[in-house]
Amino acid sequence: MLDVVIMLSCDGMVFTVEYALLR
């Protein structure tokens, strides 16, 4: 369970960074 939560958190951070760079 923790691994999944961490993976989702990492994906969310990466998505946020990529979204900020695209803007």
pLDDT of residue 20: 80
Alpha helices in 1-23 (DSSP H): 2-22
pLDDT of residue 14: 81
pLDDT, one tens digit per residue, over 1-23 is 677 777 777 777 887 877 788 77
pLDDT of residue 1: 60
pLDDT of residue 10: 73
pLDDT of residue 18: 79
CA 2 and chain centroid, separation: 15
pLDDT of residue 16: 80
Indicate whether this model's pTM tops 0.85: no
In the chain the first and final C-alpha atoms are separated, in Å, by 33
